[in-house]
Amino acid sequence: MGLLSLEDTIKEKLKDRKNAHFMLVDGMSKLLTEKVKNCQSLDFQVSGVKWRLVIRLSRGRKDHLSFVLEITDEKCTGSTWDVKFNFKIGIVPQTGPDYCFVLVGHQNEKKRSQGLANFISHTDLKERFLVNDKAGFYAEISDVQPNFPVTRIPRTMGTAERFKLIEFSPKNSRFTWKITQFSSFDGEEHSSYEFTVGPRRWKLVMYPKGNGDGKGNSLSLYLFASDYVTNGPKGGTLAIYKLRVLDQLNRNHCETECRYWFPYNPVNQMDSLWGRPKFLPLEELHKSSRGFLVNDQIYIGVEISIVSTTEYL
């Protein structure tokens, strides 16, 4: 009988680790080569408190990954909340014992995350745990003692998710918005039609005369993450993308790269908007030699290079 897949190995462990959450990261090479700076799990609940796993590039040692556990619970607001707990963080191997560390946790307003800044080296990860560009990380939490009331829902087994990083070719992720009669636009804000890339619908949002720090001096440009087109969990979506205004004469486009974790928050949709308030100075926009505005026509675009998707295992 052959080895279990990493997915099946994780599913087997869920039976015995009821207070654990596993995150299978599919696309680890994008993190190790710094195309992506961090990966984060869905929120999950243990002992009435919500948590999240975060894997990121180590800030101290470039050849290491850090692994932290964060409290994300909406009850943890203000300056007086406090949670004490024990936890274990580790990586799932295909065979043999886990690579793990047992830690004592104590989080509050001043310290909302804990873990190890230099959790594992890139070399050890590649040699011992990376399988088909995938690695399985987990945290197991126990003895949770919050100083505020919670509703503890007993867990019968652990939980797990697949976090996948998808890289797109430009032809499949580029959207261009052609605007005619630009000078006749009324109102502060204008939006493009929605388009789909990865698990969500998106649209461009433009302020012709600027907003925020760009009000009155710049064209402001943003990407907005709308609804999901998949049936999976509605957590945050990481997107790496370029916003641009096209130079119609010389192809010397104005563009900037952005990266942002777009939450899913129907109540406060402004959380799902990210870009640049000072994207293009109005003085530059209206210079005929720059080619951004020709015959009162402008082309605004976005190219999304990497998007994350999440599904339950």
Q: Which residue has the tokens 């406060």?
A: 268
Residue spans of alpha helices (H) in 129-227: 170-173
**CATH of region 174-312:** 2.60.210.10
Do 6-163 and 174-312 fold alike per CATH? Answer: yes
Whether residue 2 is predicted with pLDDT greater than 60 in this model: the reply is no
Cα(263)–Cα(237) distance, rounded to whole angstroms?
6
Cα(311)–Cα(313) distance, rounded to whole angstroms?
6
Partner residues linked to 283 by β-bridges: none
Instruction: Return the CATH class of domain 6-163.
Output: mainly beta
How far is the first Cα of the chain from the last one, in angstroms, to the nearest whole number? 23
Answer for the pair 176, 301: CB distance below 8 angstroms, yes or no.
Answer: yes
Task: Record the pTM.
Answer: 0.90
Whether residue 1 is predicted with pLDDT greater than 50 in this model: the reply is no
Cα maximum dimension of the chain: 70
Whether residue 227 is predicted with pLDDT greater than 70 in this model: the reply is yes
Partner residues linked to 299 by β-bridges: 178
Q: Which residue has the tokens 């560390």?
A: 101
49-93 residue pLDDT tens = 999 999 999 988 889 999 999 999 988 888 899 999 999 999 998
281: closest CA among 187, 190, 213, 192? 213
138-194 residue pLDDT tens = 999 999 999 999 988 888 999 999 999 999 988 888 999 999 998 887 778 899 999
